[in-house]
Chain A
Amino acid sequence: MLDTDLITYLAKLSKLQIDEADKERLVSEMSAIVELMDTMNDVTFDEDDNSKGEGVSLVNLREDKPRESFDREKILANASHKKDGFFVVPKIME
């Protein structure tokens, strides 16, 4: 059953900050959506084997040939915080 605990858990997994005030609303919205998804409940698996299939052959994969990398300026151009050619994030405590 979908409840605020589950919403909190999903929000944590997906790194979304959700205000306490919004959780109840999300529970009801998500419950309605999940109910729609539950139309699949009466589907039963007869055969379930994902170990076979048609894949791409080795020759059609990418050739191992280097291409020049991008200018660092371009790589960092869209970053909001950068320093000395690095992307900058608040310090990670390990």
Chain B
Amino acid sequence: MELCDKSILELRQMLDQKEISSSELTKYYLDRINKIDGQINSYITVCEEEALKTAENADNRIAKGEASALTGIPISIKDNMCTEGIRTTCGSKMLGNFVPPYNATAVSKLLAEDAVILGKVSMDEFAMGGSTQTSYYKKTTNPYDKARVPGGSSGGSAASVAAKLSAASLGSDTGGSIRQPAAFCGITGMKPTYGAVSRFGLVAFASSFDQIGPLAHSAKDCAGILNVISGHDVNDGTSERQKIDFSSKLGKDIKGLKLALPKEFFGDGIDESVKSAVLKAAAEYEKMGAKIVEVSMPSLKYAIAAYYLIASAEASSNLARYDGIKFGYCTPDAKTYDERITRTRKEGFGEEVKRRILLGTYALSSGYYDAYYKKALYVQQKIKAEYKGIFDTCDAIITPTAPTTAYKIGEIEGDPVKMYLADICTVTVNIAGLPALSTTCGYDNAGMPIGMSVVGKAFDDATVLQVADAFETSFKRINPKL
């Protein structure tokens, strides 16, 4: 077993027992990035100097016996989380020269433990997309097949973990942006309950859905990272006061747990290979003593519309601040304020971002508000209620993470409607603010990983991790060949 195949828990043990130093481990990863990342293009910025400095601090800390869970562990960060003194591009030309004067809270929490930040990884521009092909910088590819997308928007995170160019990564999930790339790249990714991790320093896309979460090799590693980065934050008024112990149920018997399969998630739009792999996993759970219950979620048919309307409405407002005045790209030689701002935004934003700004502006503008934005909020309430109904009798829900496995680059990205429809399996979780995790449950004929999602009640993230971990313990993953 190679060093890069080790889990965070295993690396922790090695570091604590001085089998390896964090400096050595960090150099090892930096070296791998140097050699391999050219094939998949996951890193926008590699922070070699800073990483080695942190590794040194981590080693001192370990020597003093003061290490905590992530001390000295090399991690990558999606490039939409602010890192003080380190460029944070959000995958956009607009933020090409933006160097934040502060750290995102999740980043601060990692650094407080001397976790090693290897660098900033690629993403769809402003996290809008599911392929990482809208990145202005690195159009990341899938480590299992370089002709395919890694998923997105946290494609850089997923690919860097799958290619073992980081032990784990922080991503963000607004409508599936952690879970879908985790599924496409054959790893584990979790979006915790909305509010569990502070959003301070996460460049906003859709504030009421955005959540930071881990992408890693296992549910156990995800739990470990979440324990570090979660918790109430005075800088985020929407962050939860309720403390969650993410690892509290790991390893506990799942016998007697009721797992729900909503029938709408196994309908026509879902690939047969995906359906059968997820159903096979469900059968595994049954063998472990869980009870499988079929349920229904009638509002799923409105979910894409509701999600895109709310997310785009918020995005149109969140992205209004990019005007070339305070930070970021500024068009040269504008004569008037209006020219400065309209040209900056024309030149600084990519096509998909512009489409969403237009859609969001449309949904909120007078005359259309009631038909779109307001109705979307109403659908949100219905979806929440349907989830609540299911959780009244069930402990967790099992669904596919995406209708297909990773598709070929160029296959559907040009068609926004097809792209939006591909989010059908993930968006309801964000609409309802629930915790959800994607783990690999099989491979299709082309050898591409298939993702299965476990969804839980709000604040019951521990059960989600428990259920996923139970499956992972008996499932053998296949490494990508790089």
Q: Which residues of A contact B (CB under 8 A)?
A: 6-7, 9-11, 13-18, 26, 29-30, 32-40, 43, 45, 48, 50, 56, 60-62, 70, 74-75, 77-81, 87, 89-93
- 26 A-B contact pairs sorted by A residue (CB < 8 Å): A9-B365, A13-B365, A14-B357, A18-B346, A26-B355, A26-B358, A30-B358, A33-B416, A36-B305, A36-B420, A37-B305, A37-B308, A39-B301, A39-B302, A40-B309, A40-B372, A43-B302, A43-B375, A43-B379, A48-B374, A62-B237, A70-B101, A75-B101, A90-B337, A90-B339, A91-B337
Checking A9, A74, A80, A92 against B337 with a beta-carbon cut-off of 8 angstroms, the contacting residue is: A92
Contacts of B379 in A (CB 8 A): 40, 43
Q: CA separation between A77 and B97, bound complex, in Å?
A: 11
Q: B316 to A14, Cβ gap below 8 A?
A: yes
Q: CA separation between A75 and B335, bound complex, in Å?
A: 24
With A16-B345, A37-B308 given, is the CB distance from A10 to B358 under 8 Å? yes
Query: At the interface, yes or no: B320 with Cβ under 8 Å from chain A?
Result: yes
Q: CA separation between A16 and B354, bound complex, in Å?
A: 8
Q: Which 5 A-B pairs have the closest CB atoms?
A: A78-B327, A80-B330, A17-B342, A17-B346, A74-B101
Contacts of A79 in B (CB 8 A): 325-327
Contacts of A17 in B (CB 8 A): 342-343, 345-346
Q: A89 to B325, Cβ gap below 8 A?
A: yes
Closest Cβ–Cβ distance, residue A61 to chain B (whole Å): 8
Query: At the interface, yes or no: B183 with Cβ under 8 Å from chain A?
Result: no
Q: B416 to A32, Cβ gap below 8 A?
A: yes
Contacts of A48 in B (CB 8 A): 374, 378
Q: B101 to A10, Cβ gap below 8 A?
A: no
Q: B361 to A90, Cβ gap below 8 A?
A: no
Total interface residues on B, CB under 8 Å, equals 56
Q: Which residues of B contact A (CB under 8 A)?
A: 97-99, 101, 234, 237, 241, 301-302, 304-306, 308-309, 316, 320, 323-328, 330, 334-343, 345-346, 349, 354-355, 357-359, 361-363, 365, 372, 374-379, 416-417, 420-421
Q: CA separation between A16 and B349, bound complex, in Å?
A: 9
Contacts of A10 in B (CB 8 A): 358, 361-362, 365
Q: A15 to B327, Cβ gap below 8 A?
A: no
Checking A11, A14, A39, A70 against B305 with a beta-carbon cut-off of 8 angstroms, the contacting residue is: A39
Q: CA separation between A6 and B365, bound complex, in Å?
A: 11
Q: A80 to B324, Cβ gap below 8 A?
A: yes
CB nearest to A41 among chain B residues: B371
CB nearest to A61 among chain B residues: B237
Q: CA separation between A15 and B324, bound complex, in Å?
A: 12
Closest Cβ–Cβ distance, residue B216 to chain A (whole Å): 32
Q: A36 to B421, Cβ gap below 8 A?
A: yes
Contacts of B99 in A (CB 8 A): 77-78
Closest Cβ–Cβ distance, residue A62 to chain B (whole Å): 7
Q: CA separation between A60 and B362, bound complex, in Å?
A: 35
Q: A40 to B335, Cβ gap below 8 A?
A: no
Q: B362 to A34, Cβ gap below 8 A?
A: yes
Q: B372 to A37, Cβ gap below 8 A?
A: yes
Q: A15 to B345, Cβ gap below 8 A?
A: yes
Checking A33, A43, A62, A80 against B378 with a beta-carbon cut-off of 8 angstroms, the contacting residue is: A43
Closest Cβ–Cβ distance, residue A67 to chain B (whole Å): 10
Q: B308 to A16, Cβ gap below 8 A?
A: no
Q: A16 to B416, Cβ gap below 8 A?
A: no
Contacts of A60 in B (CB 8 A): 241
Contacts of A36 in B (CB 8 A): 304-305, 308, 417, 420-421
Q: B355 to A33, Cβ gap below 8 A?
A: yes
CB nearest to B355 among chain A residues: A29
Q: A77 to B420, Cβ gap below 8 A?
A: no
Contacts of B234 in A (CB 8 A): 62
CB nearest to B354 among chain A residues: A16
Contacts of B349 in A (CB 8 A): 16
Closest Cβ–Cβ distance, residue B23 to chain A (whole Å): 31
Contacts of B374 in A (CB 8 A): 48
With A17-B345, A29-B416, A90-B340 given, is the CB distance from A78 to B359 under 8 Å? no
Contacts of A74 in B (CB 8 A): 101
Contacts of A61 in B (CB 8 A): 237
Q: CA separation between A87 and B335, bound complex, in Å?
A: 16
Q: CA separation between A50 and B376, bound complex, in Å?
A: 13
Q: CA separation between A81 and B323, bound complex, in Å?
A: 12
Contacts of A13 in B (CB 8 A): 361, 365
Closest Cβ–Cβ distance, residue A58 to chain B (whole Å): 13
Q: CA separation between A49 and B376, bound complex, in Å?
A: 14
Checking A11, A26, A40, A92 against B302 with a beta-carbon cut-off of 8 angstroms, the contacting residue is: A40
Q: CA separation between A29 and B339, bound complex, in Å?
A: 25
Closest Cβ–Cβ distance, residue A74 to chain B (whole Å): 4
Contacts of B345 in A (CB 8 A): 14-17
Contacts of A38 in B (CB 8 A): 305
Contacts of A26 in B (CB 8 A): 355, 358
Closest Cβ–Cβ distance, residue A68 to chain B (whole Å): 13
Closest Cβ–Cβ distance, residue B324 to chain A (whole Å): 6
Checking A9, A16, A50 against B346 with a beta-carbon cut-off of 8 angstroms, the contacting residue is: A16
Closest Cβ–Cβ distance, residue A65 to chain B (whole Å): 10
Closest Cβ–Cβ distance, residue A53 to chain B (whole Å): 11
Checking A30, A78, A92 against B326 with a beta-carbon cut-off of 8 angstroms, the contacting residue is: A78
Q: CA separation between A8 and B417, bound complex, in Å?
A: 22
